[in-house]
Structure 1
């Protein structure tokens, strides 16, 4: 009887330990699939920049389009995106 109780306690501790471990292969990136190199600025309602972190190892730039046209993920390495970020930083620093 004592050995059965010890086995149940050990099994519960093992289950709790396994569930608490992070899964290294699982990423929770918001941008899945292909990335867009440029978007017309007249159609942009909002831009969100998500730096790389523990959830996703890629920097993500998500553009919300006007009139409910959806969201697009910008390629952070494209020249359009780099220029847009530089201009936004300059505009913020002058305000």
Structure 2
């Protein structure tokens, strides 16, 4: 009787599929949504452009506001963001030419 019970338990263990935690990372994006369309430029202290990666498939633009440590996401598709980034790139390239 003990042998039959042991065989049934062994059979159940062989049938049961055991899976571990999935290795595929779930998105680790900083921005939960698309972000705001506009922030007054005089309030922006720092801009970070985060390209898509294996952990986050979206392009993110994060700004740090002056006089606080608050960070906000800018909508990369908004006209304000695109113009702001183009002006910043142009300004930086001019500074590099002078230096």
Question: Is the TM value for this pair above 0.5?
Answer: yes
Aligned residues, how many? 78
Q: State the partner residue of 1:8.
A: none
TM-fit CA distance, 1:52: 0.7
Q: Gaps (5+ residues) in structure 2?
A: 1-17
1:90 maps to what in 2? 90
Q: 1:68 aligns to what SS in structure 2?
A: coil
- Aligned residue number for residue 73 of structure 1: 73
Aligned to 1:22: 23
Cα offset for 1:69? 5.7
Q: Give yes or no for contact 2:51–2:60 (8 Å, CA) kept in 1.
A: yes
Deviation at 1:94, TM superposition (A): 1.2
Q: Which has the higher helix share?
A: 1
**Would the aligned equivalents of 2:34 and 2:76 in 1 still touch at CA under 8 Å?**
no
Unaligned runs of 5+ in 1: 1-14
Q: CA deviation at 1:41?
A: 0.8
| Structure 2 counterparts to residues 48-59 of structure 1, below 5 A | 48-59=48-59
Cα contact 2:34–2:74 (8 A) shared by 1:
no
Q: Which runs of 4+ in 1 moved over 3 A?
A: none
Residue 67 of structure 1 and its aligned partner are, at CA, apart by 1.3
Aligned-pair distance for 1:85?
0.9
> Normalising by the residue count of structure 2, what TM-score does the alignment of the two structures yield?
0.69
